[in-house]
A and B are shown apart, each in its own frame.
Chain A
Amino acid sequence: MEKLLQQACKEVESAELFRVKSKTVPVNFEVNRLKSIDISESEGKALRVINKGRIGFSSSTGSEGFDLIVEKAAATSEFGSEASFDFPEEAKRSKKIKINIYDKKVEDKSIEEMVKIGEGIIEKVGDFNRRLRCDVTIVKNCNEIEYHNSRGGNFSYSKTAIAYSMMVQKIKNQDMLMIYSSIESGKDNLDVEELTSEIIENLEWAEKIVPVESWKMPVIFTPKAALVLILPIISGLNGKMVLKKISPLAAQKNKKLWSDLLTLYSDGTIDFAAGSAPFDDEGVEMKRVPLVEKGEIKNFYYDLQTAGRAGVESTGNGLRASSQSEPVPSISNLVMEEGKISFSEMIKDISEGIIIDQVLGLGQGNIISGAFSNNVQLGYKIENGKIVGRVKDVMIAGNAIEELKNIAALGNKAKWIEGKYKFPHIYLKSLPVSAKK
């Protein structure tokens, strides 16, 4: 790779080369049966250059000549954004030197073993009810990342991930019930029971359909549904949105905006979490970055370029969506601090309200304004402190920036979602709910 960089630097002033080699093996079960096994190998290179103070970028996959990427990167730098940073001279960790993100047992896991895990999951849920449709995916992934820049900064690491995910579907006349659940880790330590017990619990609650009146009522978001409220916040705290003054949170730093209960941090140093790594995708050390503390915004998150423009330091959040992308400010892992109340205590506290577990239309609409409006795809009605059944044809709507001022309580058992978000249950005092008459 260093040779390639030298080649690039004949054409441009400085350059950075990012390479990802990846192998992903998903084993898919559909309608309770093993359906397909894929082996997906990929390799991609991305070249970012700074030339005459401007940024250029090109990428390629496969064995295409490197000359072409250099030529294209140099060509794009002619019009590129003005660089407000230099490539880091070294990639070095100061705190928490070793972050565990690789487990050989994941890489070595045999396809036969993965098939057995999937069969086991289907068997367990089948024992509860034989008439369900179960789709299961067991997937393992191994990434090798390599980074070099012409100022001397370089690093490389390997990272593993394994995930079990399941969709259970039950159809009765024209009613379709769908429940999703998944667990993910960098380490081969996943517990099938965690996945299946959640599904079975939901199936029990969902047995009966009950009516709801349109009204403002108390609502509990499960960790799985918490993104409804948190996605707008993630988007509003993005340094780029702040810099461009698109974010309504831009002028709110160090101001008390939300409930005392709300503490959020981005943390790329958590062992075996999906967003963890020693460095972000441009050689800056990954850190724990407090974003919100006790309802007060403490930091926005940045990559090098955005930080340079804003006149602050990168927070180590310069991540690439793929080997074909430039770094942009992104969340590594996002953790919301737990509260003190258990989920069952929250339920007991509510005389009439709903639990929201899955929604349609997540991230749809004018997210940056904080607005959300979702169909409750899976939700439950609470009456007099008890779950009485499932709700249908119900919409929720509100503004996350406003609603988070009225947190009644946070759960005391946070759960990892998609391997990178850790959220507790969020109990809101009241939220508008509209139901079909």
Chain B
Amino acid sequence: MREIFEKALKNKKNSADYIEIRTEKKETTTIHFQGKKLEKIDCSQQTGGNVRVLVKGGWGFVSFNHFDDLEEKVREAIEVASLIGKEESKLAIISPVVEIINRELDKDFRQISLREKKDLIENYNNIIMKSNLLIQSSNVIYTDRFSTTYFANSEGSYIEQEKPFLSARFTAIARGEGDNVQLASESVGTTRGFKIMERISTKAQKAAFRAVNLLKAQPVEGGEYTVILDQTLGGVFIHEAFGHLSEADFLYEDERMSGLMKLGKKFGSPKLNVVDDGSIPDLLGSAKYDDEGVRTKKNYLIKDGILAGRLHSRETAVKMGEGPTGNARALNYRFKPIVRMTNTYIENGEIPFKDLLSGIKKGIYAKDCYGGMTTFEMFTFSAGEGFMIRNGEIAEPVKDVVLSGNLFATLLNIEGVGNDLKMIESGGGCGKAGQGPLPVSFGSPHLRIKKVVVGGK
């Protein structure tokens, strides 16, 4: 690949300020059981690539499946970029890297037969289907993907990275009386290999158990509550509501937005610390280099309650006068790298879970997550499981718990940070600008937040 890239980059370096080529090869296997039946089994291959060029501050981007004529693609990208460019190109300076990164797996899933994978997933599906008479159906989806990305730029970098990914998602659907249909999901994601997939039958059991329990739950009464978020929901909250606002591509050309996200501003109590770190080995959001060839690292977003940093691409970093952070990521070869999170979490505080509960007369313990969404300062997310808290004790289950609010107010309303941080590696991922699901992980200790609006009847 390196020679093909070098040939395409040669002679073109004078017509653009910056050129990069990224190609990708990947193999994917999907196995999907629904109810008692195998719904889908699919093995696919993809190859594709793109060229991205910068001319006088304007970006041109061309993506394709056939790369027999890379030089032509480079020419096309320069042509469209030239239509835009009217100023000076600026990119944060990084040193060129030449590196080939291979991954060792704890059981290489490419060596496992399709039959063995199918049998394993079928077994998990049976666990759900046979767990309780009220279980009506299931959705069990397994995916493995081995992708290799090849990256070169006009500054002399050449990086090959292997990126394995496995996920399993267990959804149990329970039906009670009348139209009472409830579902619960559990999922696992990993980059480490097939071995983890062989040891997750408790997740299947848990999904079934929760779906059946939800049948008994009453809808939550809407209103304002003190809420305790579990590690998953806390992680989703910090990713969705806060993390996205730290992505500098939203900020750097927008004075008013960057005013709101001014470094040094108070965002929470001194106990609140938020980190994004793509360099933690082998988590879902990890990689040694991002998709611009920048080395990933640990970045504090909030330190002691104060806004301390944000996430950058090479372009946003230089334009905001800050250092690159290694957060330019692309979903695949069809997309440009944009500023994304990697592994985002709230660091441990000191309060044990029991003490977080104490003193809450009427509140909600919200666990797990169906999904979340945010538009700048407004966020909303649905808990997968909810309980009332009455007089400091966890009480009856409730359903349809949807939390919503204003990020800035909610961060300031975090009254307690637990001491039980857990990183969540779920099979889902993050969506932004049409690029999703991108593998990420997130985590948090238990959090206690006052004055959260919960939707409901």
Contact = CB atoms under 8 A, between A and B. Distances in A.
B382 A373 contact: yes
A255 to B, nearest CB: 13
A123 B179 CA distance: 52
A63 B222 contact: no
Contact of A42 (B65, B254, B376, B405): B65
B125 interface: no
A369 B84 contact: no
Interface stretch (B40-48, B201-209, B273-281, B306-314): B40-48
A369 B179 contact: yes
Nearest to A69: B45
Interface string A184-207: 000000000000000000000000
Nearest to B371: A364
B89 to A, nearest CB: 13
Given A44-B65, A360-B374, A79 B118 contact: yes
B84 A36 contact: yes
Contacts, number: 239
B80 A115 contact: no
Contacts of B137: 244-246
Q: How large is the interface on B (under 10, 10 to 19, 20 to 34, 35 or more residues)?
A: 35 or more
A96 interface: no
Nearest to A377: B375
Contacts of B380: 360-361, 364, 374-375, 395
Interface in A92-133: 111-112, 115, 133
Nearest to A398: B457
B453 A35 contact: no
A43 to B, nearest CB: 5
Nearest to A249: B179
Given A41-B65, A373-B402, A36 B136 contact: no
B260 A174 contact: yes
Contacts of B45: 59-62, 64, 68-69, 72
A10 to B, nearest CB: 19
Nearest to A399: B179
Contact of B80 (A80, A111, A363): A111
A222 interface: no
B370 A59 contact: no
B447 to A, nearest CB: 19
Q: Is the interface of B mostly helix, strand, loop or mixed?
A: strand
A90 interface: no
A58 interface: yes
Contacts of B254: 31, 133
Contacts of B38: 79-81
B380 to A, nearest CB: 4
Given A30-B253, A436-B453, A397 B46 contact: no
B374 A42 contact: no
Interface in A418-437: 432, 434-437
A68 B27 CA distance: 11
Nearest to B118: A79
B260 to A, nearest CB: 7
B41 A375 contact: no
B428 interface: no
B44 A72 contact: yes
A372 to B, nearest CB: 9
Contacts of A60: 44-47
Contacts of A78: 114-115
Interface in A310-354: 324, 326
A111 B65 contact: no
Interface stretch (B6-14, B56-64, B358-366): B56-64
A75 interface: yes
B404 A37 contact: no
B83 interface: yes
A42 B67 CA distance: 11
B156 interface: no
Contacts of A111: 80, 83
Given A214-B223, A365-B402, A59 B114 contact: no
| Leading 9 A-B pairs by shortest Cβ distance | A62-B47, A395-B455, A434-B222, A373-B402, A72-B43, A375-B380, A171-B256, A37-B80, A248-B179
Interface of B: 34-35, 37-48, 58-68, 76-77, 80-81, 83-84, 114-115, 118, 136-137, 173, 175, 179-183, 222-224, 253-254, 256-257, 260, 334, 336, 370-382, 400, 402, 404-406, 408, 451, 453-457
Interface of A: 30-31, 34-44, 56-64, 68-69, 72, 75-76, 78-81, 111-112, 115, 133, 169, 171, 174, 176, 178, 214, 244-246, 248, 324, 326, 360-366, 368-371, 373-375, 377, 393, 395-398, 401, 432, 434-437
Given A395-B453, A434-B454, 15 more contacts: A36-B58, A37-B80, A38-B80, A40-B63, A57-B42, A59-B45, A60-B44, A76-B114, A111-B83, A176-B376, A246-B137, A324-B44, A366-B182, A369-B182, A397-B402
22 contacts: A37-B59, A37-B83, A39-B62, A39-B80, A42-B48, A44-B65, A62-B65, A69-B45, A79-B41, A79-B118, A174-B406, A174-B408, A176-B377, A360-B404, A362-B373, A365-B370, A365-B371, A373-B402, A375-B378, A434-B223, A434-B454, A434-B456
